[in-house]
Amino acid sequence: MKIKRIRKLKRKKKYNQNVNRKRLRNKLRKQPDIPCEQIKKEWKNKNSIRDNLKEMGLAYDANEAVQIPNVKHEMLEDAKGKVTGNEDLSDHENEEMNMTAAKSYVMEKLEAEAKAPRERLLKLPKGQAQFLTYLIKKYGEDYKAMSKDKKNHYQLTWKQIRAKIKMFKGIPEQYNKFVENSSTQS
C-alpha cells in the first residue's frame, strides 16, 4: 500500500519541462472576457466568478438554480417532516430563494433586453416566395387544392403549405411586396 502512495507523490513532484510557468500563472489570474455590457460594468476583479454572478442575481450553474423535481426525494422530505413534526424546513428553503441580490438591477436590465422585440432576419428564398405567391393568387385559402397543384414538385401536404404561407405572411418585407404587386395588377 505504501509503495503505491510514494509512487503517486513522486509522479506529482516531477517537473514538466513543456509548461511555461509564467504564462500558466498569468492565465490563471486573468479574468474572463465578458461580452455583455451590463455584466462587464458591475464586474469586480477581486471576487470570484461565482460571487460576482451571485451578487447580480444570476446563476453560475443552472442545474443548481433550477433543480428538476424528484418525486421520491419530495416524498421522503414530507415523511421526515411529519415524523419530526417540523414543517418549518420548507419555509426556510423558500426564504433562501426569495433573497434579493445586491445588484439586482443588472438582472432586470438583462431580462428587459431579452424581452425586447427583435428584428426578424429570416427571409424565404426567392423561388419559394414566388411559388407561395402563385398559390395564393390562384387558390386563395384553399390549401387542399394547393397541394394538388401541378407546380407542387416537392409534393407538400396541405398542412405543410399552410405552415409555409403562415411563415410567409409573418415576414412583412416579402409579404408586403406581394400585396403591393397584387393590388397594382387588380
- Which pLDDT score is estimated for 129? 93
The residue range of the domain holding 54 is 24-84+91-105
Q: Which residues contact 149 (CB under 8 A, 6 or more apart)?
A: 135, 138, 139
Mean pLDDT of the chain: 83
In 3D, which of 96, 12, 9, 10 has the Cα closest to residue 54?
A: 96
Percent above pLDDT 70 for the chain? 83
Highest mean pLDDT among 84-93, 150-159, 170-179: 150-159
Has residue 14 been placed in a domain? no
- Per-residue pLDDT tens digits for 28-51: 777 778 888 888 888 888 888 888
pLDDT score, position 180: 86
Do 77 and 140 lie in one domain? The reply is no
Give the predicted TM-score (pTM) of the model. Answer: 0.45
Tell me what pLDDT residue 98 has.
55
Residues 28 and 66 both lie in one domain: yes
Look at residue 90 in the predicted model and tell me its pLDDT: 52
What is the pLDDT confidence band of residue 8, given thresholds at 50, 70 and 90?
low
Q: Locate cell 414530507: which residue?
A: 78
